[in-house]
Amino acid sequence: MANDAVDWERVYRESYPSVYRALAATLLDASFAQDALHDAFLEGLRRPPHHQANVAGWLFRVALRIANRSRLRRSRASQSAAAASMQDELSAVLDRLSVAQLLRLLTERQRAIVVAFFFLDQSQDQIAELLGVRRGTVAATISQALARMRKGGTDVS
């Protein structure tokens, strides 16, 4: 992909909303998702992906990697009041949505795969490539996650 501002401006406008929603649903933290996605765009400006295909998937993968690294470094005590407030606000919204309640039943890895599959319309092959796992692992994870959500769905009001 060419590393010029016009291309990244278009990519930002087209990809940001869906990738942000996917990250927020996976990470369950709006502020954290936004920070990770902005860092992923900066990474793309510094070192653009080698292929133009599936830039949204590339951004999702990079943002997840950044979020996981950041999560290891940051502690709960060091979160600002504003971040905690945004978390509470997002939690309140997610609690009202049955899909979000069902996503909460999943592990972060299951959420990432389910969200990439259903929210970003990524194929199992694309998800496997993005996350560095086998296609069979993606298929099994989706199946297990859906079963877990079906079972948990009876408890969701």
Q: Where are the domains of the chain?
A: 5-153
Two tokens at 103? 């996503």
CATH architecture of 5-153: Up-down Bundle (1.20)
**Residues contacting residue 49 through CB under 8 Å, at least 6 positions apart:** 1, 55, 58
Read off the pLDDT of each residue in 80-108 and give the average, rounded to a whole number. Answer: 67
pTM of the model: 0.60
Higher pLDDT, 21 or 157: 21
Band (80; pLDDT cuts 50, 70, 90): low
Two tokens at 76? 């709960």
Residue 25's φ and ψ, nearest 5 degrees, are -70, -35
Read off the pLDDT of each residue in 88-96 and give the average, rounded to a whole number. Answer: 58
